[in-house]
Amino acid sequence: MEAAVVSVSHGAIGFVIAKLGDLLAGKYKLLKQAKGEIMFLKAELESMRAFLERMSEAEEEPDKQARCWANEVRDLSYDIEDSVDEFMLLVEGESNGEPHGFKGFIHRSMNLLTTMNTRQKVAKEFQDLKSRVMEVSERRMRYKIDDAVSKPNNTTIDIRMLALYADTSGLVGIDGLRDELIHLMVGEEGVSAQQRKVLSIVGFGGLGNTTLANQIYHRLKWQYECQAFVSVSQKPNIRMILRRMLSQVGYVALEGTNMEIWAEDELISALRQFLMDKRYLIVIDDVWDETTWNVIRCALPKNLDGSMIITTTRINTVARACCCNQHDYVYKMKSLSNEDSRKLFFNRVFGSEEACPLYLEEVSAQILKRCAGLPLAIVIISSLLASEQNTLKENWVHIKNSLGPNFEVNPTLEGMRQILSLSYINLPHYLKTCMLYLGMYPEDYIIWKNDLVRQWIAQGFLSKVHGQYPEAIAEGYFNELVNRGIIQPVDTDHNNEVLSCKVHDMILDLIVHKCRDENFIIATHDIQAMIGLSGKVRRLSLYLDGIIDGTILETAQLSQVRALARFGTSAYAPPLLKLNHLRVLTLEFTSGNHGWRYLTSLEYLICFI
């Protein structure tokens, strides 16, 4: 699979490298000096792209200095692309409008000086770009960015560990579910108690997958001869996981044996042999891919001692892969009911529902609506409110507003973002880019799949796959985001194919935060916020209602905008003539009886009723 030409991790470098190659073709007739600059730019950008990809694949977020350097490279790639596009358009315009014959000879002679001036100007521009690229490369060496990316940060705390030691008295809505699943897996009639079974719990991070598995484990482990509970990371160390399992189930190596140097096959063989005649209970928490499961399951024999394996995952296909026998069971986690959400929330803040003051009932309901039954979100927000020195309604309203997508999130909410970020960090380059593009849409907006995938295609977010059409690749991306629980299905057809989706508020908050950090999308409902923007705007989304002062946007620097979306009831029309590099235009119309489709030079244009 070839890399996507545009991505959040390395900007437009893919596009630029390809276009620089086109510029070196004979038809553009560049000056010799300009060709030399372009060859240099192409080589340097290829090196930078490889490094940026390595940065994005790191298990942990790079430090602030490395991120600043990456942002500078991405911005530079867009500027180079702008220059290349403008030159190509100019040259192609000259050749297309040129007459033939004797008249054409006169025309070419008259324009020779102008054309030469143009190419000299282009050569000077590429010389300036070369200076910027050299400066960026030197800064990478001067600040040792490579070392900063390679060096692991051991201070990150895995918040998932808190679920393993949660106070059971504070859990809500889990006892009944725990007992129901135990009865299903252990007390099911008509199935031999000796058959080994697998229970796979699947749900988006924060729904309580680990907590539920942990509760079942602690309730049942006394009934089994061997027990183990191990967690799997996004990029798991299989040997370490297998060693932990061996240690927990009670395996004791011969004196003088160094298990640290054992290969995977040795560890698997030791586990299989040790567990073969034993009744065991193993929890494999947070499995991210089928390959990891396929390796681990080799160590867990299908004996007839009534053993059980519990897996948790965020991905539906992984859950199904774990459960390949008729006695296995996939349980899909659900959000808490309104009743359980209220109970969990008020118990943590006041000790009981009855203790909540009447003047806080309404704002409490609004906060719970934002949490959408996500236990982790409710726990974090209620803990934040419980720590407040007073219960002024204004403070609660402020916390409620902090859950919106346009708020610079309070540091006390970073635990929630860290959990949600796990799903983002694990995504490949192309899915990260497609996920962040969802930041173009307002909160609670219903997004139609066909419209979204067309925009991804026009923006150049797709990786090329031999033998597949772009539409099929983009639909695969969409389905993968659904499968990972990042977007929530809304409408489906008779074949259960997802036709439209929504983005959970908490996930949208993460997306907007990432978009702001990466200067990927500027999304705003306040047009005044466009005044004084320090960075160049590449993608702009406006949520506008009522009468808008259009003069504000007229003065903003918008020439680099590649995608523009406008939502809301306002009749304001953005200044399209200023958008020289616009590829995607999305407009929402809330009045009138007809939808409109326009045929323009844009790669993609869509208008909503």
Using CA atoms in the order 16, 581, 131, 77, what is the torsion angle rounded to 10 degrees? -40
Return the structure tokens found at 293: 């499961």
pLDDT at 119: 61
Identify the band that residue 474 occupies on the pLDDT scale cut at 50, 70 and 90: very high
Cβ within 8 Å of residue 357, ≥6 positions away = 391
CB 428 within 8 A of CB 288: no
**Cβ neighbourhood burial of 602 (10 Å; 0-12, 13-18, 19+):** middle
Q: Mean pLDDT of all residues in the chain?
A: 75
Identify the band that residue 344 occupies on the pLDDT scale cut at 50, 70 and 90: confident
Q: What is the pLDDT of residues 48-59, one digit of tens each?
A: 777 777 766 655
Q: Which helix (H) or strand (E) holds 541?
A: strand 539-543
Instruction: Give yes or no for residue 104 having a pLDDT over 60.
Output: no
Task: Return the higher-pLDDT residue of 112 and 44.
Answer: 44
Q: DSSP states of 285-324 as a string?
A: EEE--HHHHHHHHTTS---SS--EEEEEES-HHHHHHH--
pLDDT at 456: 92
Identify the band that residue 269 occupies on the pLDDT scale cut at 50, 70 and 90: very high
Q: What is the pLDDT of residues 167-201, one digit of tens each?
A: 544 566 677 888 888 888 887 543 446 788 999 99
Q: If we measure between CA atoms, which residue out of 158, 139, 163 comes closest to residue 73? A: 139
Distance (Å, whole) CA 40 – CA 36: 6
Instruction: Give yes or no for residue 287 having a pLDDT over 70.
Output: yes
Return the structure tokens found at 292: 């990891």
CB 223 within 8 A of CB 239: no
Distance (Å, whole) CA 233 – CA 288: 8
Return the structure tokens found at 32: 């010799």
Identify the band that residue 103 occupies on the pLDDT scale cut at 50, 70 and 90: very low
Identify the band that residue 108 occupies on the pLDDT scale cut at 50, 70 and 90: very low
Identify the band that residue 435 occupies on the pLDDT scale cut at 50, 70 and 90: very high
Identify the band that residue 413 occupies on the pLDDT scale cut at 50, 70 and 90: low
Distance (Å, whole) CA 473 – CA 469: 7
Q: What is the mean pLDDT of residues 358-365?
A: 89
CB 83 within 8 A of CB 125: yes
Return the structure tokens found at 539: 């993608």
**Among the listed ranges 91-100, 397-406, 423-432, 565-574, which one has the minimum average pLDDT value?**
91-100
E runs forming strands in 153-223: 197-202
pLDDT at 436: 93
pLDDT at 450: 92
Cβ within 8 Å of residue 526, ≥6 positions away = none
Task: Return the higher-pLDDT residue of 301 and 606.
Answer: 301
Identify the band that residue 10 occupies on the pLDDT scale cut at 50, 70 and 90: low
Distance (Å, whole) CA 430 – CA 314: 19
Q: If we measure between CA atoms, which residue out of 59, 49, 56 comes closest to residue 18? A: 49
Q: Which helix (H) or strand (E) holds 418?
A: helix 414-425
pLDDT at 35: 72
**Half-sphere exposure at residue 306, Cβ-oriented, CA atoms within 13 angstroms:** 13
CB 519 within 8 A of CB 71: yes
Q: What is the mean pLDDT of residues 232-245?
A: 84
CB 428 within 8 A of CB 4: no
Q: Is 3 helix (H, G, I), strand (E, B) or coil?
A: coil
Distance (Å, whole) CA 183 – CA 199: 12
Q: If we measure between CA atoms, which residue out of 44, 41, 5 comes closest to residue 122? A: 41
Q: What is the pLDDT of residues 242-261, one digit of tens each?
A: 998 999 999 888 888 888 88
Distance (Å, whole) CA 18 – CA 3: 12
Q: Is 156 helix (H, G, I), strand (E, B) or coil?
A: coil
Query: In this structure, what are the phi and psi dihedrals at residue 206, rounded to the nearest 5 degrees?
Result: 105, -10
| Amino acid, res. 350 | F
Q: DSSP states of 162-207 as a string?
A: HHHT--GGG--S-HHHHHHHHHHHHS-TTS-TTS-EEEEEE--TTS
**What percentage of the chain has pLDDT greater than the value 70?**
70
| Amino acid, res. 457 | I
pLDDT at 43: 78
Return the structure tokens found at 451: 């419209």
* Cα Rg of the chain, angstroms: 29
Angle between helices 449-459 and 429-437 (to 10 degrees): 120
Identify the band that residue 477 occupies on the pLDDT scale cut at 50, 70 and 90: very high
**Cβ neighbourhood burial of 113 (10 Å; 0-12, 13-18, 19+):** exposed
Q: DSSP states of 514-537 as a string?
A: HHHHHT--EEES-GGGGTT--SPP
Task: Return the higher-pLDDT residue of 550 and 232.
Answer: 232
β-strand partners of 539: 563
Q: What is the pLDDT of residues 416-429, one digit of tens each?
A: 666 577 667 767 87
Q: What is the mean pLDDT of residues 533-546?
A: 78
Return the structure tokens found at 8: 């959040």
pLDDT at 226: 93
pLDDT at 51: 73
pLDDT at 593: 35
Instruction: Give yes or no for residue 122 having a pLDDT over 90.
Output: no
Cβ within 8 Å of residue 386, ≥6 positions away = 348, 349
Edge-to-edge strands of the sheet including 563-567? 522-524, 539-543, 563-567, 584-588, 604-608
Q: What is the pLDDT of residues 373-409, one digit of tens each?
A: 878 778 777 877 776 656 788 888 877 776 654 434 4
Other C-beta atoms closer than 10 Å to the C-beta of 167 total 6
pLDDT at 170: 54
Cβ within 8 Å of residue 175, ≥6 positions away = 215
Other C-beta atoms closer than 10 Å to the C-beta of 565 total 23
Task: Return the higher-pLDDT residue of 471 and 89.
Answer: 471
Q: How far is CA 30 from CA 18, 22, 99, 123, in A?
A: 17, 11, 22, 8
